[in-house]
Amino acid sequence: DPEDMISITFVGKDGEEKDIKVPVGMSMLEAAHENDIELEGKAWKIPPAPSFYHSDIFLCSSLILCFYVTAGACEGSLACSTCHVIVMDMEYFNKLEDPADEENDMLDLAFGLTETSRLGCQVIAKPELDGMRLAIPAATRNFAVDGYIPKPH
């Protein structure tokens, strides 16, 4: 039933947009994964290989122990903040459930925090969110997009 699907647009760091359909009840983290959209959230860039996906620690070829934290590293248990997304319109931001204290605590650790930041694993698709646009933050504290107020740490 198409009424159980909503449209969501992910806007990448380079401004490229990807429109996807998300079933009601699914988190934005899951929706991004299902559509091959990478949320930022890597601690260090290492040549990506599918088998490394979701592994937190592995040995690089240089024999330096590296941490590789991918988006959704904690699988939605509010322990990583790698699933950080920025709701681009306040109108939609206000339709979201209020964040739990745990989410706010994790968001404080996220790079590029803004006033409309949320954790993607905690944003669940519902009919009122049809048309929502989510920006994927860059892994830098200098991230700035017109209209966003970076939240001071």
Interface with ligand FES (CB under 6 A): 29, 72-74, 76, 78-83, 106, 119, 121
Which CB sits closer to ligand FES, 82 or 117? 82
As measured in angstroms, the least distance from the Cβ of 103 to ligand FES is: 8
Which CB sits closer to ligand FES, 78 or 113? 78
Which CB sits closer to ligand FES, 63 or 139? 139
Which CB sits closer to ligand FES, 78 or 136? 78
Q: CB within 8 A of 126, min separation 6: which ones?
A: 6, 24, 25
| Closest-approach residue to ligand FES (CB) | 121
Distance CA 16, CA 23 (A): 22
As measured in angstroms, the least distance from the Cβ of 36 to ligand FES is: 17
As measured in angstroms, the least distance from the Cβ of 122 to ligand FES is: 7
As measured in angstroms, the least distance from the Cβ of 102 to ligand FES is: 9
* β-pair type (57-59, 17-23): unpaired
Which CB sits closer to ligand FES, 80 or 132? 80
As measured in angstroms, the least distance from the Cβ of 108 to ligand FES is: 12
| Long-range CB contact pairs, 96-105, < 8 A, 24+ | 96/123, 96/129, 97/122, 97/124, 102/78, 103/78
Count CB-CB contacts under 10 A for residue 27: 19
Helix (H) or strand (E) holding 107: helix 101-107
Distance CA 104, CA 113 (A): 11
